[in-house]
Chain A
Amino acid sequence: AQSVTQLDSQVPVFEEAPVELRCNYSSSVSVYLFWYVQYPNQGLQLLLKYLSGSTLVKGINGFEAEFNKSQTSFHLRKPSVHISDTAEYFCAVDGGSQGNLIFGKGTKLSVKP
């Protein structure tokens, strides 16, 4: 069965610093991977997704993620964060034949001035 592990529950970072949010997955089949962002009191918004092709995926708000099959990872990166990036970020894997997304526990990114 597929599973997702987000290694850091909280990541504090200063404004304009780079950030990496880590995600590892477990799957025995081809994977489709996603990152979602949840701002306070809002629903989840799709940041980016990997379905196939180039392993470097660019998303909205300057975020990108790299799919690494050998490391079973899909880490999210941004070279320079803003205060407005403060939110919770969720990595997810497509549940395959079940047709549902399996989410990690989330990483709270806190950007300080």
Chain B
Amino acid sequence: DSGVTQTPKHLITATGQRVTLRCSPRSGDLSVYWYQQSLDQGLQFLIQYYNGEERAKGNILERFSAQQFPDLHSELNLSSLELGDSALYFCASSATFGAATPYGYTFGSGTRLTVV
């Protein structure tokens, strides 16, 4: 157990629908990062939050949004889902801003999203 909790582990939904993925960071970590892993694109950085504030955006579609709550858990919202959104979505956390910390990032086990 890495200490980063992601729910649900698996999600199957239809095109056009909206889903919410949840992430609880490791205790004491203030930064949360979201990544999408697909066979063709590899690991793509989506978005980062630090202590409730958005800090960096990567290749995140406008149909996707995220937020980090006061208790530091984060949610990634995916709407108007398309077949191409099927992927593994990972959340990672770190103690500070950036990855150059004693522990680097700690990853959750991911949510596998299948859009049918």
Q: Do A and B truly interact? A: yes
Encoded as 1 (CB less than 8 Å from any B CB) or 0, chain A from 22 to 34 comes to 0000000000101
Q: Given the known inter-chain contacts A94-B100, A103-B43, A104-B42, please indicate yes or no for A43 contacting B90, CB distance below 8 A.
A: yes
Contacts of A44 in B (CB 8 A): 90, 92, 105, 107
Decide if B43 touches A46 in the complex (CB within 8 Å). Answer: no
A78 within 8 A of B: no
Residues in B lying within 8 Å of A, measured CB to CB: 2, 4, 31, 33, 35, 42-43, 45, 48, 50, 55-56, 58, 90, 92, 97-100, 103-110
| Interface residue range, chain A | 20 to 34
Total A-B pairs, Cβ < 8 A = 66
Decide if A98 touches B56 in the complex (CB within 8 Å). Answer: yes
Decide if A99 touches B55 in the complex (CB within 8 Å). Answer: yes
What is the CB-to-nearest-CB distance from B53 to chain A, in angstroms, rounded to a whole number? Answer: 12
What is the CB-to-nearest-CB distance from A43 to chain B, in angstroms, rounded to a whole number? Answer: 4
In the complex, besides A99-B99, A101-B104, A103-B42, 14 extra interface pairs with C-beta distance below 8 angstroms are A32-B100, A34-B104, A43-B107, A44-B92, A44-B105, A44-B107, A49-B100, A95-B56, A96-B98, A99-B97, A100-B48, A100-B56, A101-B45, A105-B42
